[in-house]
Each structure stands twice: as C-alpha cells, then as structure tokens.
Amino acid sequence: MKILFLGDVMGRAGRRAITENLPRLRQEWRLDFVVVNSENATSGMGLSGSHAKTLLDAGADCLTLGDHAFDQKDMLQFIQHEPRILRPLNFSKAAPGMGARLFTAQNGRKVLVAQVLGQVFMKRPFDDPFSALEPVLKTHPLGGQASAALVDIHCEATSEKMALGHFCDGRVSLAVGTHTHVPTADAMVLPGGTGYLTDAGMCGDYHSVIGMEKTEPLRRFITGMPKDRFTPATGTATLSGVYVETDDRTGKATRIAMVRDGGILQPAAP
Ligand SMILES: [Fe+2]
Ligand SMILES: [Fe+2]
C-alpha cells in the first residue's frame, strides 16, 4: 500500500493547504490511505465538526487528534458519530470516541490506526502509552487481518518517541511522531520493518512560532507577560509529513520518504 501521513494541521492556512493540495497528491502518488493529524485545525486549538468534514472531504481517510483533542467542545459529540476520527488511546478513561480502529481503505484492504500520547514534558499526566498500545498491537498482529498498521505517537520528547518507535518495531508499518510542529530528518525503516519518523512536522505556515503568528509568542518569551491571544499564522502553509510503501502480505514498510509540499520549507516528495 501507498500511505501518506500528514502532521498537525494548523489553523486556516493548514486547512487551505490540505483542501488545495491533498486531492492532487492523492492522485499523483496513487495513495491508498491518508491519515491527517488535525488537533490544531480549528484556530490552532482542537478540531470542530465542520472542519473535520472539510478535511475528510479533501481526501483524508482518518483524522487523528492529540492533547488538544477536545479544545473545540462540539468534538465531544461529533466524534461519537464519526468513526474516522481517533483521539489518543490514553487521553482519559472518560473520553468519548476511540483511540484505535481498523479502517477499510478504498482498495478494500484493512488498515489499523492508533494514537498514543506521551508522558514526558506534557501539560497533563497521561496514562502510560506503552501499556495502552500493547493490547491493540497484540489484537491486531501485522500481516493478519490488517494489511498495514500506523501509530501516531503524540509526544513532546524525541527520546520518548524513539522508544515508542522501537516498541512498535516489527508490529506496525509506520510509527510517526506528531505534536512538536517541527519535522525531523530521521525517516528510516527500523530493523523489524517499521517505517519511523520522530516528527512529521505541521501542515502550517512555518514563518511563525510552531504555527502561531510570531508577535505574541515572542512577547511572552521576552517579557514573560501575555498581552494578546495566540492566533495561527496566515501565510502559505507547507504540507509536512511522511510517505510509506508497505508489503501487503507482511504489512512491513518497504520504503519511507519525507514529504514537504508548498510554503517556505525545502520541498521533498516520494
Ligand atoms: Fe499540534
Ligand atoms: Fe499536541
């Protein structure tokens, strides 16, 4: 299968980059399955139901969330009726929606997608992501019912993401980090056959502070005092993420490539 994963969609600029470019990339790269992390798609804070529809209509097969999962209150309801949206497995025992699910790709093949939150440097203490993931990976062995499997590793610390990547090695097709909004350059296939990238980066305007218009973040760093709200930067966004090809029989990654399309980052394509 040919799979594309895109990092955190940031505000209107990120949404526009998805609607304007994802349909073309889907065709050009003959993608079988597309996952888009959407935790910042609505004003940088969470995902509204209407913006979820926009991203799904543009060609995403699955939307993942993150620590901002329910910043938009309507998602608490919306996620219960839209199984294509996943929130982290270990978000909270009381959270609505699912943290992992078996999807059916357009070619009829089954794809497992799961998301976990890290514990290191996160603003809330979440449950252990390793033990949250273990039963899901055990129930869905790669090369069984699922032709491919993806895990979105939503963490701040690169060390925790790498550890989770090794934990997933040989058990999923792709383990990819999100949350920092800055892409890392370490796309690789791990020894067990899992494609891995520490962070997919964001789909947003990189002339910013991690997607936010830079004036207020700069003021807060310099003076230690807030004055305005954070608002997403509005310049042209770069679509940022990772492309992976998998063997349908084993589910393992045969090729991995960084993706950067549009905006001010240096382009990269499969
Ligand atoms: Fe994010
Ligand atoms: Fe996040």
Each residue's pLDDT tens digit in the chain (270 positions)? 999 999 999 999 999 999 999 999 999 999 999 999 999 999 999 999 999 999 999 999 999 999 999 999 999 999 999 999 999 999 999 999 999 999 999 999 999 999 999 999 998 899 999 999 999 999 999 999 999 999 999 999 999 999 999 999 999 999 999 999 999 999 999 999 999 999 999 999 999 999 999 999 999 999 999 999 999 999 999 999 999 999 999 999 999 999 999 999 999 999
Rg (CA), the chain: 17
Nearest Cα neighbor of 138 from 114, 106, 105, 174 is 114
pTM of this structure:
0.98
Give the Å distance between the CA of 24 and the centre of ligand 2: 27
Question: Tell me, what's the pLDDT at 188?
Answer: 98
pLDDT at residue 246, rounded to an integer: 98
Write out the catalytic residue numbers: 68
What local confidence, expressed as pLDDT, does residue 181 receive? 98
The span from the first CA to the last CA of the chain, in angstroms, equals 14
Strand partners of residue 245: 2, 255
* Nearest ligand to residue 201 Cα: 1
What are the angstrom distances between the C-alpha of 115 and each of 8, 64, 67, 100, 185? 13, 7, 11, 7, 21
- CA 19 to centroid of ligand 1, rounded, Å: 19
Query: Where does residue 20 rank: exposed (0-12), middle (13-18), buried (19+ CB within 10 A)?
Result: middle
Distance 67 CA to ligand 2 centre (A): 5
Residue 8 Cα, ligand 1 centroid: separation in angstroms? 5
* CB 44, CB 21: distance < 8 Å: no
b/e code 215-231 from CB counts within 10 Å (16+ = b): ebbeeeeeeeeeeeebe
